[in-house]
Structure 1
Amino acid sequence: MTKRILGVFAVVLLLAAGAGCTSDDPAPQAGPDRISLGVIPIVDVAPAYLGKAKGFFSKRGIELTMVPEQGGAPIVQGVLSGKYAFGFSNATSLIAATAGGAPLKAVANGVASTGRPGRDFSAVVVRDGSSIRTAKDLAGRKIAVNTLKNLGDTTIRQSVRKDGGDPGHIDFEAMPFSAMPAALQAGKVDAAWVVEPQLSEALTQGSQVVASNYVDTAPDLTVALYFAGTALLGKDPDLVARFTAAIDESLAYAAAHPDEVRDIIGTYTPITDVVRTAMILPNWPHDINRGSLQRLATLGTEDGIFTGTPQLDQLLP
């Protein structure tokens, strides 16, 4: 009898427990998608940092971590290897990768030139007193770029070509953007391709602009893109859509709030107050300038940067 009573009691407890988990109760909420984004610590990616600070990613269920790299090429490799879910890379790196068969797809615009000669966020500079006066004088000189056989090579050669110089005889040396102003002042290189904030840093040290390489390449050049592997687009299109929406909101916010852009840059790369104030900010449009990317593809092919035929239809959304 005692065993029978205990058995009935156990059944009652089970029923009571079950009654507390009805279909009306909300399902347990999954945590945010924790993803990493490969970036370069320059002005270009300020919108991503600003968007994270403003909650544009978290409100879409994304916990974003930015990981700095020296250039676009290692970020491409990081996305392909699964190290990063998304990446930020210059267009030449992405064109080169897809020309070689890499399964990548742009998901949002990254950054664009201002289109203003002498007032762009990218330039080739020389130290004060240099014999290099114009872009054609760069022929035969040693020039610092962040990575070899990439965007810097192509756009600098175009500046030299446009100014009547020989673009085939330039000695490029790879180094981080952050190291370029000091290397230039020390005479380790004859010129340096710098972008903000290192451009303003170099100018405050007396350096002079001799070429606006982005402007010389194409009007309103689309310089870089946010991208992902095509495998992620097929596996989790919802995550890709949420990330893209967050980036688009970040780009629009950055374009409308330049003072906040200047402040956020100091949180991920060292800059002085003088540089922060002096920086030339890029454009952050929503739309990708396909014509300018075709120009990069044509020039890159002429310069022998690509191992295959550029596939813009594959790369662009």
Structure 2
Amino acid sequence: MRRRIPGLAIAVVTIVGAAGCGSSSDSTSGASASGSGKTTEVKVGIVPIVDVAPLYLGKQKGFFSSRGIDLAMVSAQGGAAIVPGVVSGQFQFGFSNPTSLMLAQTKGIAVKSVINACTTTGNTTTDVTGVMVKKDSPIKSAKELAGHTVAVNTLKNIGDTVVREAVRKDGGDPSKVKFVEMAFDQMPAALAGGQVDAAWMGEPAQTIARSQGARSVTAPFAETDPELTLATYFTSTKLTQENPDLVKRFKEAVAESLTYASAHQDEARQAATTYTKIDATVLKNLTLPLWPTETNLASVEKLASLGEQDGLFGDAKPDPKALFQ
């Protein structure tokens, strides 16, 4: 049986940058609650993909302002770029995949996950990410990615980990896949132009690529685990100790946002247009992730095992229970 972590567990993600949070009133004491008339400016490091739509929707609906939070989102290429910013104090919270957070943990960086962000749909044909190839590519399956160049948004992270697992499960040699780093929004053009043989794309990139004739050869998140936790929102351990009230209010607002987005998917799609360039055709065809408020610990432990197998953590060993509970 799969073990789940309550959505009130603690998690955070950040982006490298100068310290200093900034607040309209009291950004460090935690005194500015929803009923005090004061608000706290909260910056969240995010990756501009459809997965974070609930945050934007929750801000629009007032789920954060009603709890005394003035929410601001700042984009980064991937979760690995966000962690240092959270630790430095540039961001109070961040969006990051579990592998990035476990990498931080094994390097002695004090972060904690606070609440789930998104989960795979479990659909191995059409998921929130897919490895896309050109329509006329000779690559027909995951195992045939061996010997070819595949773009991922961040090297030595969750992308190459799950792509390797998809290749491995399909009978191919994962060690022969050549990975290159590239931002999601650059991937459709790079694939069409022949700069890479394949690209592991999130949304809206993969829907844009499909509209240009590309096709998917594997959905590696779903292939790895049909209930895989893709990302959580996290913060620094320091913030959980110094401002537990802010963490609590942020967590509550995110939980309400996730629940609302799950029940109002058309509104979630529309919210994605505020931070990505999506036309009407792409918008209606987007594959959305699932947005439960609980983190699937068993799936995170699987990512930890795969990361160890691929040598991501060096001689260190991640402790998912300590990080995600």
Regarding TM over 0.5, the answer is yes
Q: What is the correspondence of 1:62-141 to structure 2 with a 5 Å cutoff?
A: 62-141=69-148
For residue 186 of structure 2, the aligned residue among 179, 202, 206 is: 179
The aligned counterpart of 1:31 is 38
Identity of aligned residues (%): 49
Letter in 2 for 1:316: F
1:190-230 CA distance string (max 9 Å, x none) = 00000111111111111011011001111210010000000
Partner Cα distance (1:218, 1:99) in 2: 23
Q: Contact (CA 8 Å) 1:144, 1:172: kept in 2 or not?
A: yes
The aligned counterpart of 1:214 is 221
- 1:30 Cα deviation from its structure 2 partner: 5.7
| TM-score of the superposed pair, with normalisation by structure 2 | 0.88
The aligned counterpart of 2:289 is 282
- 1:36 Cα deviation from its structure 2 partner: 0.3
Partner Cα distance (1:34, 1:179) in 2: 31
Structure 2 counterpart SS, 1:111? strand
- 1:29 Cα deviation from its structure 2 partner: 4.9
**Displaced runs of 4 or more, over 6 A:** none
The aligned counterpart of 2:317 is 309
- 1:100 Cα deviation from its structure 2 partner: 1.8
Partner Cα distance (2:231, 2:313) in 1: 17
**Is 1:262 the counterpart of 2:303 in the alignment?**
no
The aligned counterpart of 1:45 is 52
The aligned counterpart of 1:158 is 165
Q: What is the correspondence of 1:221-260 to structure 2 with a 5 Å cutoff?
A: 221-260=228-267
Q: Contact (CA 8 Å) 1:98, 1:314: kept in 2 or not?
A: no
Structure 1 counterpart SS, 2:174? coil
Structure 1: any 5+ residue segments left out of the alignment? 1-27
Partner Cα distance (1:127, 1:159) in 2: 19
Letter in 1 for 2:278: I
Structure 2 counterpart SS, 1:259? helix
1:52-81 CA distance string (max 9 Å, x none) = 111000000000110000000010111111
The aligned counterpart of 1:17 is none
Let me know the Cα RMSD of the aligned residues: 1.1
Structure 2 counterpart SS, 1:34? strand
The aligned counterpart of 1:10 is none
Letter in 2 for 1:70: Q
Structure 2 counterpart SS, 1:187? coil
For residue 206 of structure 2, the aligned residue among 199, 211, 218 is: 199
Which of 1 and 2 has greater Rg?
A: 1
Structure 2: any 5+ residue segments left out of the alignment? 1-34
Structure 2 counterpart SS, 1:48? helix
Structure 1 counterpart SS, 2:150? strand
Letter in 2 for 1:273: A
Structure 1 counterpart SS, 2:175? coil
The aligned counterpart of 2:19 is none
Q: Contact (CA 8 Å) 1:51, 1:247: kept in 2 or not?
A: yes
The aligned counterpart of 1:23 is none
Q: Size of the alignment, in residue pairs? A: 290
Structure 2 counterpart SS, 1:314? helix
Q: Contact (CA 8 Å) 2:133, 2:199: kept in 1 or not?
A: yes
- 1:31 Cα deviation from its structure 2 partner: 2.3
Structure with more of its chain in helix, by fraction: 1
